Chain A
Amino acid sequence: MLIAAALSALLALAVLGVAAGAEMWRHRLVYLCCMIASLTLLAGGAKHLGQTPGTGPAIILPIGLPWMAAHFRLDNLSALFMVVVNLATAAASAYGIGYCSHLPEPRRVTPFFPLFLFGMNAVLIADDAFMFLVAWEFMSLSSWLLVLADHKNAENRHAAFVYLVMACFGTFCLLTCFGLMAGGEGAYSFPAMRAAKLDGVAGFLVVLLALLGAGSKAGLVPLHAWLPLAHPAAPSHVSALMSGVMTKVALYGLIRILFDLHGHVPWAWGAVMMVIGGITAVMGVLYAILQDDLKKLLAYSTVENIGVVVIGLGLAIAFKGSGEKTLAALALVAGLYHIVNHSIFKTLWFLSAGAVITATGERDLGKLGGLAKRMPWNGVAALIGAIAISALPPLNGFVSEWLIFQSLFKGPSLPHWAMKFGVPVVGAMLALAAALAAACFVRAYGIAFLGRPRSKAAAEAHQVPASMRWTVALLAGLCVVLGAIPVTITDALSHVVTPLTGVQFAVSADLGWPWLSPVSSTRGSYSGTVLVMTGAGLCVITLLLVHGFGTTRVRRADAWDCGHKESIPQSQYTGQSFAQPLRRVFCASIFAARESVDMPDPGDNRPAELKVRVIDPIWVGLYAGIGRVVDFIADLVNRIQYLTVRRYLLMMFGTLVLMLLVVAVRQSQ
């Protein structure tokens, strides 16, 4: 009931947002209410999350398909995602209170923001295909409008276009997928679909379409193309939600279909998903390393993390498909854990990016630098976020990757040769992605927040409003907590996976709190808690020893830099130069990355230039290709518009004669 109230409140807020007009305080009020609503939903979700698995509370409204009212239900899975979603939305709303006054046209954001929140939450609680898709499209629609918030920029319009078309593609895939599960007579409610038995081909198609549909929303390679375009285009607090949360809602859809509605997916699909996930992870992070636009970089890093999660999910399916329920549960827990984590640190980073843009007006890494000194709060928060997202202990990112690795190492125990040989490869991909992610965020943080300012704007950066600082600080705190007490989280998650895998399971089975021992204590274990305490202890001891034996004197001086005396900040490493070694090693083949030096002749005093050319194979090959085909056919078809009446009559005549012939033939049979 509380949840229903909060949701309807969100709808009302949209109207209020329209009415907000020019006064900024009204906009602030809307965001404040959004935050309260999100917190309510968060509470509602959390309250149900703890409860024992089973069919949760349901509501039936007399809307939707006439012969089948709209069903809503909150079970454990929905509850978990509701927590994930509304944690981020609460943060983003709070952030918006301060941020909305810095937007070019707040009136194009405030009304749609609550709708976006509503859409995402509605997807989670929908209990029939129609409502699910309505909410799903509603989510796309509202976010599309948010992407168009800064509509005067042609790039944004292009991004919005690609986004909406891809969203429609995804919806059609899901739509047909549901249609297949519902059957010709249209039994669209989820319980009916669970009951339905799918034959081989139908089962195959369902999984395929679910992957295409949810995958295109989540940003699986090669369906990711819209994501790095659309996410940066939106205002930062919206980008945070699109990247940090909306992709998770897509994954929710995937889990809902593959683990719940379809139920018994063959293990081979798991293997396929793992490969897709691995490719997505590596490609995503490679893209990210090449980006100079901070928000694009973050968007691509989202692609990478989605890939990581999908590896976990695929593993779970492979285990479940071969009857290894406990391991399936483990892999699923790992995947869900990573979902939770990513939603937090990606939101954190996008909000920090928003703060950077607010403070400097720049998104280009090449124009930033030294912000850690001028914006200490965001400096610290972003650093924590960077460590977490690079999967380094003792923060949360590492825990989930550790769990995924642990379950991955169990993969070869399956009887299928494909798994025995495939899993190590996927493992290598995952490891590669993790290491590259670290490189990517050293680059991002080091260039944006450290070093000397590369532009006047960066040099004059100022603190951002309090609400924008507190939210990031809060999220950073969460990163630490989720890393320090992993067992508490995994126990909560095991409630969720029990109904999906049909096995009671706890990650900390035989060592108990605070030890994560996935399979058995001798199988390799991890305790963030102990590690944090010991590590902190050792650092303190080091500090004491050093200060005990040595001096504590510090002298400020110019940088030594091997004796080069220079004061031009441009001599620092830029994003591109930092990426160069990685580009040469990894991107030469995949992205056909080429460098060409333009060296002026002696006496010519124009500066030398180093040009880098990178080709996105997927965009050029797939999307541009489709565009070309459509254009070509459209040109052909368009000629029909310019014929004479006589020719149109000819077409008519032809149709008639053709049909008569058809009838003649069919009659003769």
Chain B
Amino acid sequence: MIGGFTLLPGFDNPLLWILGVPLGSAGFLAVLKDWRVATWVNVAAAVVTFISSLLLIHVRPEPTRLLFIDDFNVYLVVLTAFVGLTTSIFSAAYIARESEAQRLSDLHLRFYHSMYQAFLFTMLLALTANNTGVMWVSVEAATLTTVLMVSLYRTREAIEAAWKYFILCSVGIGLALFGTTLVYLAAQPVMGDGADAMAWTLMIKQAHRFQPDLLNLAFVFVLVGYGTKVGLAPLHAWLPDAHAEGPTPISAVLSGLLLNVALYALLRFKMVIAANGSTLTPGPLLVVMGLSSLFLSAFMLYRRGDIKRLFAYSSIEHMGVITFAFGMGGAVANFAGLLHMTMHSLTKSAIFFAVGIISQNLGTKRIAAIRGLTSSHPVLGWGFVLAVLAIAGLPPMGVFMSEFLVLSSTFARQPLLAIPLAIGLLLAFGALVARLQSMAFGEPPPHSHAHGKAGPLSTALALTPLWVHMLLVLVAGLYLPRELVAWFQNVARILG
């Protein structure tokens, strides 16, 4: 009954490695005692995952019953593996410094590394799953793992953040499950019982025969459900605290990857709806959510005193912009949305790398206490400046290209929608620049190296990922590889 599907990929299939390595290493790290070794095992596993993900660029494995790769998720898989790798490198340096500061017990560290790989696994599974149910499970699992890591420091704030995160996301994910069920119900009369009615690859082909009204209903639940994980206002509440209180590498992957994964899930459902044709258009809902997120975060940025919360809100802002872009639809806007997803995750994780080092060196997360970075730590400082300028959407960095496309194409079609978008972006820009200047310039605070006990090696190690990301973003701002463009354009077409 399942058209030539096998359940699991064979050994020659990179997918097996991409998913197997993190899962296996998660188990291995759970039992590994010495955290110093663990950090490097962590890195090694990430390296293997990344390399095998690179194979996907040329080898496009056949879809199986559970897993598949197409133009849409291939680049997200590679991106996830890459950021996972760089973050693991950063985390090696970060953890070394943390344990010097005696903030984490060995048990916690073991737990941390195991969870890190588990988290990567769940995200990669969510991206490659060919089954709405499996995808849902893995997103849920991703939530659980991150909840545990957010509460790692056991501080009052951390517990509270984790609690907030857990409650809100569980409810959200519950609603997402309801949406998933509804989609199944819509599909089941057409595709018959069983897993076929949940397989993306098959649903897309038959979507035009689905129950449109059910799909409408389903999309609302999916939007609220996965939208919570994307962090769209007003469902965003968990995001800033979860980013702020967990270890910085986790903040980096949360912002850089998890949000993308949730958004990916949302877009998959949108594809089905777009393929159906006779539903109500989901565009307006997305646009409204996008704008609300943009404005809420733009104003929030002006009042943040905690550097990690600041950039958490900027993540909300960018998710808003991306959602807006997909809501507008059309070749140009969708392309921009996809590009923005990529650029944002690279840039934002880079920013969190910088933030991690900064808060370790200065021993504070208060923006007010951070001054004159370019004077006290030139390499870090300028890297930070570059990253923040990139996220603020200044050329020649990549974010500018996507914002250019969104804004100009929207204005040509719906001027009245482009104006609030521009205003929101301008507001956020102002807030970011103000904070950036106060942190990066001016008279550095006295003995700002007091906490920077770490050796030059670990500092260099911590800085490399930051600069690598910035280099990529810089290049991407001016030149995009042809394959990537082809994928984007293809997906943009499907997204309608």
Contact = CB atoms under 8 A, between A and B. Distances in A.
Interface stretch (B15-23, B101-109, B348-356, B433-441): B433-441
Interface string A162-185: 001100110010011011101111
A641 interface: yes
Interface in A385-406: none
Contacts of B418: 176, 179
B299 A649 contact: no
B425 interface: yes
A663 B273 CA distance: 14
Q: SS class of chain B's interface: helix, strand, loop or mixed?
A: helix
Given A205-B415, A640-B234, 15 more contacts: A130-B404, A138-B395, A172-B426, A175-B408, A176-B422, A180-B411, A180-B415, A182-B408, A186-B332, A637-B300, A638-B303, A640-B237, A641-B303, A652-B172, A660-B217
Contacts of B396: 134, 138
Contact of A667 (B237, B280, B482): B280
Interface string B470-496: 000000001110100100010000000
B413 interface: yes
Interface in B266-290: 280, 285
Q: Would you list the 8 A-B pairs with minimal beta carbon distance, nearest first?
A: A179-B408, A151-B441, A648-B237, A637-B299, A634-B302, A66-B485, A638-B303, A176-B411
Contact of B234 (A141, A652, A660): A652
Contact of A184 (B332, B401, B434, B485): B332
Interface stretch (B48-56, B163-171, B250-258): B163-171
17 contacts: A141-B389, A161-B430, A165-B426, A165-B430, A165-B433, A172-B407, A176-B411, A179-B409, A184-B409, A634-B303, A638-B302, A640-B237, A649-B168, A651-B235, A651-B237, A655-B224, A667-B216
Given A148-B437, A667-B280, A179 B412 contact: yes
A133 interface: yes
B408 A65 contact: no
A66 B480 contact: yes
Interface string A356-393: 00000000000000000000000000000000000000
Interface string A50-65: 0000000000001111
Interface in A636-656: 636-638, 640-641, 643, 645, 648-649, 651-652, 654-656
B213 A667 contact: yes
Given A148-B441, A172-B426, A659-B223, A641 B412 contact: no
A134 B413 contact: no
Nearest to B212: A667
A630 interface: yes
B461 interface: no
Contacts of B302: 630-631, 634, 638
B296 interface: yes
Interface stretch (A152-160, A225-233, A459-467): A152-160
Interface in A423-475: none
A180 B485 CA distance: 24
A168 B168 contact: no
A655 B293 CA distance: 13
B326 to A, nearest CB: 16
Nearest to B478: A63
Nearest to B382: A18
A168 B443 CA distance: 26
Contacts of A662: 285
Contacts of A75: none
B303 A635 contact: yes
Given A179-B408, A634-B302, A637-B296, A652 B224 contact: yes
Interface of B: 163-164, 167-168, 171-172, 175, 213, 216-217, 220-221, 223-224, 228, 234-235, 237-238, 240, 280, 285, 296, 299-300, 302-303, 330-332, 372, 374, 389, 394-396, 400-401, 404-405, 407-413, 415, 418, 422, 425-427, 429-430, 433-434, 437-438, 441-443, 478-480, 482, 485, 489
Contacts of A643: 237
Contact of A62 (B172, B220, B404, B479): B479
Contacts of B478: 63-64
Nearest to B403: A175
Given A66-B480, A176-B411, A652-B235, A641 B443 contact: no
Q: SS class of chain A's interface: helix, strand, loop or mixed?
A: helix
Contacts of A168: 394, 426, 429-430
Given A635-B303, A655-B235, A660 B220 contact: yes
A67 interface: yes
A543 B216 CA distance: 95
A274 interface: no
A399 B125 CA distance: 73
Q: Which of A63, A141, A172 has the most CB of B within 10 A?
A: A172
Contacts of B394: 137, 141, 168
Contacts of B285: 659, 662
Nearest to B423: A172
A386 to B, nearest CB: 35
B233 to A, nearest CB: 9
Given A176-B407, A655-B235, A667-B216, A161 B164 contact: no
Given A134-B395, A148-B441, A154-B442, A659 B411 contact: no
B310 to A, nearest CB: 12
A129 interface: yes
A265 to B, nearest CB: 19
A641 B224 contact: no
A185 B389 CA distance: 28
Contacts of B401: 65, 130
Given A157-B437, A176-B408, A667-B280, A63 B299 contact: no
B300 A638 contact: yes
A109 B283 CA distance: 47
Contacts of B430: 161, 165, 168, 630
B171 A652 contact: yes
B441 A157 contact: yes
Contacts of A565: none
A655 B232 CA distance: 11
A666 interface: yes
Contacts of A62: 479
B171 A630 contact: no
Nearest to A648: B237
Given A138-B395, A161-B437, A638-B300, A645 B427 contact: no
A154 B441 CA distance: 10
A133 B395 contact: yes
B183 to A, nearest CB: 15
A634 B285 CA distance: 25
Nearest to B292: A655
Contacts of B410: 179
A585 interface: no
Nearest to B410: A179
A131 B407 CA distance: 16
Contacts of B163: 645
A182 B240 CA distance: 38
A545 interface: no
A151 B418 CA distance: 35
Nearest to B235: A652
A554 interface: no
A656 B303 contact: no
A62 B479 CA distance: 7
A152 B408 contact: no
A205 to B, nearest CB: 7
B405 A186 contact: yes
A654 to B, nearest CB: 8
A63 B478 CA distance: 5
B264 to A, nearest CB: 21
Contacts of B235: 651-652, 655
Contacts of B426: 165, 168-169, 172
B412 A655 contact: no
A164 B385 CA distance: 14
Nearest to B221: A656
